[in-house]
Each structure stands twice: as C-alpha cells, then as structure tokens.
Amino acid sequence: MTTETMQTAAVVGSGYMGGGIAQVLALAGLRVGLADQDYETAQRNYERLVSQAVILEQDGMFAAGSAEKIRHNLWVPESLEQAVADVDYVTEAVPEVLEIKLTMLARIAASCRADTVIGTNTSAIPIETLSQVVTNPERFLGVHWMNPAPFIPGVEIIPATRTSEQTVIAAEKLMLRLGKIATRVSDSPGFVANRLQFALYREAVDMLESGVATAEQIDAVVSSTFGFRLALFGPIAIADMAGLDVYAGAYTTLEKAYGEKFRAPALMTEAVEAGHLGVKSGSGLRGINPADVPALVAYRERAYAALAELRRKLGPAPGL
C-alpha cells in the first residue's frame, strides 16, 4: 500500500482525539468511517464534528468548504468491523488503557484487509507491546498525534521491531499529504513528546505541592519564558544557543539543592570539557554549522518578535 493509493480510512475511537484525526483525514479527501463502542456514540460524534467544522469555518480556522467536505467524506458504519473491512488505513484512538487497546486492535486486525496499514495513537504504551495482537504485524506502527489534531502540526511515527520499512514510509508520506510534520522516533515508553511533557508536568506539580509557586505563577513563568522559546526551537537547540557552559553552571547549583535528579547530563558535560559550548564556540550537541550562526540568530530574533506580537494580539486565555 502506498500513500498515493490510500483513498479510504477508518478511525476507531470517535472522541476528541479520534474525531480530530477523522476531520484531518476527511479534509485530505479520504473517505473515513467513524467507529466507536457503539453506533449511537459514533453517530453523535459525527454530528458534533460536522457542527464544529461549521463553526471553525465561520471563524476562519478552516478553509471555505471544509464543513461540507467533512460532512461528505465522513460516514458512520453500523459496527467497527464494517468500518475497517475494506479500507487502506486505520487509526486506533481508543482510551489509553492497555486492555482496551489490545482488544480493539485484535478486532481491527481480524476484520480488515491483510495489507491495511494500522496506526495506533497511543500516548505512551510501547508499540511492541500492542503489536502482539496484530496479525501481519509488519503493517502496524505507532502514529501519535497531538491534541487538537487539526491544528498541532507534529506527529510521531514509531515502528515496532516487525514493522516494515514500506509501512513506515507509507505512514510518513500520508502524514505529509495531510499537512503534518512526521518525525520517526524509537519505540520507548512515552516516545519523545510525552516523556518530555510528563517530566515537566511532574516537576511543576512538585513545585506546587512544596509551595514554591502557585499554579498560576508556574504556568505564567513557563508560557512567557522558556515555553515561549519552545514554540520555535527544541530544548537541545536552545541550549546550544544559550551556551552549554551556562547550563553546566546551573546544573551545579541545582544538583546541590535538589540532588541527583538534577545532575548534569554526561553527554553535555563531556561536550563542555571538550570546549564544545554551542554556537559561541562553533559546535554543540546539535552540530550547528558556524557559517549558519548569524542567519540563525537573525531568524531567532525575528521569530521571537513575531510570536510576541501574536501573543499581544490574542490576549490572555479566557479563565486563566
């Protein structure tokens, strides 16, 4: 199966996450069957997705004609089995409970064609674990979307040991066709996005519990400082631009205060000891070409200014 021939799809799990994925697939022109624990749930969510698309189109967040395209390309089969019976691609987006996912994936694999590509939207469960119930596991992989699916550009692509390279490439090309940024990552619990996201959340709640700051203060600091930068650059690039020697000094203080969990990463320490401090010395963990540094810095300043202006235009989030 190649992405060019993919014309039909099914989404199993029609809630907020699965529904958003279904909208994106439908907007790309695929005929998408929407399935859930029963027909009535899927039908209610179909109606919600169409109504939501109308509002998003009116607000200029979806292109003109999007609501009608979603209305036309989505449909609600009578059962999960009917939804996946003869489609090119299936997304599983049921709750993040191992037993539920295993049950649903076994039903999907038993009911679809042998060449149907099956992607699970698990947030953290290893793909290898889930692959055990999938027949023809070479066509199975993780395709991890972020909420809200129509607007977050990144998707993680996670192959298991038996996933074929053809399947991975087909999934990557399909995401490109959908307008997404697909990044292939290894199969480890939490993958990349949620391992980082949940590490940050745990530290934030630790500070809240210990009285370091209120929830409002923590969120304000993150969203207006380093979180602001993360909208444009990843943490490794940010460190290279700041200077790894600066990070090393901060880790010394943090480890004294909070113990081993804030010990400086060995890879970073080795780079500092070798004089590789980031862009200031011509190299760092991202290996940025020194010739690109002036253009990178200029881009960074323009991007930060544009993002700051966007935040001013949007104003504060209601209720926060």
Contacts of 74 (CB under 8 A, 6+ apart): 22, 23, 26, 32, 34, 46, 49, 50
Q: What is the mean pLDDT of residues 144-158?
A: 97
**Order of strands, sheet of 89-92, starting from the edge strand that comes earlier in the sequence:** 74-75, 31-35, 8-12, 89-92, 117-120, 140-144, 154-159, 181-184
pLDDT tens digits, 278-307: 999 878 999 999 999 999 999 999 999 999
Distance CA 194, CA 89 (A): 24
Q: List, in order of start, the domains of the chain with CATH numbers.
A: 3-184 (3.40.50.720), 225-314 (1.10.1040)
Distance CA 110, CA 264 (A): 48
pLDDT of amino acid 283: 86
Q: What is the mean pLDDT of residues 176-196?
A: 97
pLDDT of amino acid 282: 77
Amino acid at 112: C
pLDDT of 263 over the 80 cut: yes
Q: What is the mean pLDDT of residues 28-44?
A: 97
The alpha carbon of residue 239 and the mean position of all alpha carbons in its chain are separated, in whole angstroms, by 22
Q: Provide the percentage of residues in the chain whose pLDDT is more than 70.
A: 99
pLDDT tens digits, 51-93: 999 999 999 999 999 999 999 999 999 999 999 999 999 999 9
pLDDT of amino acid 4: 62
Q: Are 262 and 251 in contact (CB under 8 A)?
A: yes
pLDDT of 11 over the 70 cut: yes
pLDDT tens digits, 227-256: 999 999 999 999 999 999 999 999 999 999
pLDDT of 40 over the 90 cut: yes
pLDDT of amino acid 5: 75
pLDDT of 127 over the 60 cut: yes
